[in-house]
Chains A and B, each alone.
Chain A
Amino acid sequence: MTAAAVASTEAIRERVLDARSRRTALRIAGRGGWLDAGRPVVATEVLSARELAGITQYVPGDLTLTARAATTLDEIRQATAAHGQWLALDPFGSGDGTIGATLATASAGPLATFFGGPRDLALGVEFVTGDGVLARGGGRVVKNVAGFDLTRLMTGSWGTLAVITEVTLRLHARPEGDETFAIGLDDAASDMDKLSALLAQLPSMPFACEVVNDTLAAKLGGSGAAAIVRIGGNAESVRAQRLSFARFGELADVEPSVWTELRGCEPAGAMVFRLSGPRAEIGQVWRDALEIAAACPGTLLHARPARAMARCIVPAGGAATAALRDAFVRAPAGRRIGERLPADLWSVCSPSPAADRISRGIKARFDPAGILNPGIFGELS
């Protein structure tokens, strides 16, 4: 594939129009860190927005920030930290990931427990459609119902409707206290139900609460399955939250760097997917994930009980791929979302999420020539 980075919105528009006129499919990339995620894309050229980077507007008092698509999460973190603020989004991967890709893939990490995901934090978006139309949805203010909601339509559309060029986000002020601790779990399977029940009763949600299986715990420097919890608030609130969790087990303080390690725990080439269910069924979701881990040795698991989601990271290998295929075929696909899988596992992992009439209609309007990331939603299969 050929790649040429473009530095301006206008240049992106020209590239898209050119590709459309030649009926040439484009693989949309930010900094290219997540190109192996999603269903296989059939494209001969890469449209890299790598050069389209930088924060274009940041007024700390407004708690909003506008950045061009390829601005890295690290750059946003540094700029906002200087003012005691943060963008509460920590998708998996490194801080080198871009805000455009985060929004396009609707990627969220542990902080989603408290802060929600990209759909809750995005305020506005500028993009170039597959027809080369430069458009904008939302705005730069924290509340906005002017016009139809193009911002949420772009969030999670995986570059199939448009190339995102700029994003406006809601920021949060950093709290007075921000602490991380781990609680060991005696029985990984049954303790999940108890933890979920505890979370449902808490008067305030922790910023993050991720349960890791023993394999992942060992990789993070611990021993045995554990819940890693991050709490925030004023001193009095932090103290009370610690007491609530202490009812569940002994708290061991952990360096906050554990979150960076967790985000970057995936071995190269690993197969990654998520299981989820209704909130009250996290116990079952977790047991399903443990079953897969038992069938595929070396599997790293972490679960977010508040969102009833478990993420499975299966090391690559012939035997594991076969075992995973068996597991996928056995279980219903409804609650399974693939992140990174070998090409032949996608069709058994989950059906195309864009096969319904409305999704197909929207795709046809935004990208009539079908040149943007074809295949990533399985529409070609």
Chain B
Amino acid sequence: MLRQSSELLAYTADALPSYHQQPSLAVFPGTRDETIAVVRELARTKTPFVPRGAGTGLSGGALADGVVLIGLNRLNRVLSIDVANRLAVVEPGVVNVALTRAVTAHGLHYAPDPSSQAACTIGGNVAENAGGPHCLKYGVTTNHIVALTVLLPDGEVVKLGDASGEREGYDLVGAFVGSEGCFGIALEITVRLSPNPEVIRTLLADFMTVDAAARAVSDIVATGIVPAALEMIDQGTIRAVESSIYAAGYPTDAAAALLIELDGALAGVEHDVATVDALCKRSGARTVRVARDETERTKLWQGRKKAFGAMGRVSSHLVVQDAVVPRTKLPEVLASIQQIGERHRVRVCNVFHAGDGNLHPNVPYNGADADETARVHEAMGEIMRACIAAGGTISGEHGVGFDKMPYMALIFSPDSLATMCSVREVFDPDRRSNPGKVVPVHACREWHGTPAVRRPEGT
């Protein structure tokens, strides 16, 4: 348990550097029973709390403002691996990539692969309904969670879903996944494991205009070929990556590059590679390069997955944005983003899951410069509004957390928000689990008389 201000410093932010909030104390239970005991004590004293995994979230979702932070990263056991049924049961603190490593010998993997997969936890992935590059073909977290043992905020333990066959009734697993810590803590998570593809081919196509790259994306999607991943990396990002230790050999004079992965059965993939190659060239690709071996493939992906890290070299602060637009709107929205950046004199770098229309406009900036910071936030708001106007949404995989709350009312009616609140109330009637996140409190009509929750002493 950590109580001192200095000790708590590490827990005042997640991976989004814009916000800092200090928890009143942080507790790190080492076992399932300790976790239950902690939550029951918090229930008894009506104390709010924030569950936290590895703190790699990008929405401020794990910020704890004067409340208790429960770190779940010590609950890191893979409880069982059932190869025949392709299932694994894990504790919430198991690191995403550790699960894949644990099942590699069986020719299996855990499909959702957020860029932070070397650090982020499965519990955090469940809370955020995390995605990743390979979700284009294989689906996001919710498509891979079969059952959950959940510790409700009042201390009761319930089982949701069932791994032993079809289930009828309300899809409570579906409701819990993506609830951003507001519905309780997942103590045990039963995940579906996926067989490794027989073959993987990774291509890098580079373009002299962003528009041409965006059109190539539409053309590929329209063929019926579903790439395992279809990522776009623009010039700003390419240059940041190429000047970092993650240099992947992306051409620095290209306006944009597409990182395309095709996988599956050996028979058929080469044909798809040829089709995608031809489509890219038809859309104006200057070169299309196919990774020759695993080393080259890993290098190409390293540049993509570490792009956020590489931008750390460019400036002290970075806004990592997350929005989704219909795929046909990509060229138009990318052009708008460019214009918005120019108008506010901020540098927007795009690196994103183009195949899903899931944008990640990133803005490196100097947080010590108040004027620049203000311009960055102004531009971000405008970018979000442009995505919404194009028929999109405010988050594809990072979650709403604290950061995106102001945008919720732009895409959901007051009645829709109130309906979401009512689901939360079933799981957490006192609204003590991750308070003040996801749905703005004022949207929850019945919440105006907020139940009295006690802050821990000394806060």
Contact = CB atoms under 8 A, between A and B. Distances in A.
Contacts of B438: 147-148
Given A139-B411, A141-B324, A143-B353, A203 B85 contact: no
A318 interface: no
A63 B266 contact: no
A291 interface: no
Interface in A160-191: 161, 172-176
Contacts of A280: 84-85
Given A135-B419, A145-B396, A148-B179, A153 B170 contact: yes
B267 interface: yes
Given A148-B178, A277-B165, A234 B272 contact: yes
B172 to A, nearest CB: 6
A153 B324 contact: no
B326 interface: yes
A335 B164 CA distance: 8
A143 B358 contact: yes
B84 A155 contact: no
B44 to A, nearest CB: 19
B356 interface: yes
A147 B158 contact: no
A221 interface: no
A364 B328 CA distance: 41
B326 A278 contact: no
B423 A277 contact: no
A188 B444 CA distance: 56
Contact of B396 (A135, A143, A279): A143
A116 interface: yes
Interface string A126-149: 000100011111011111111111
Interface residues of B, number: 88
A146 B393 CA distance: 7
Contact of A141 (B169, B271, B393): B393
B185 interface: no
A125 to B, nearest CB: 11
A-B pairs, 9 with minimum CB distance: A152-B174, A353-B169, A237-B268, A240-B267, A173-B224, A203-B265, A276-B165, A361-B426, A280-B84
A255 interface: no
B223 interface: yes
A60 B198 CA distance: 31
Contacts of B404: 146
B268 A236 contact: yes
A147 B418 CA distance: 11
B171 A135 contact: no
B85 to A, nearest CB: 5
B84 A279 contact: yes
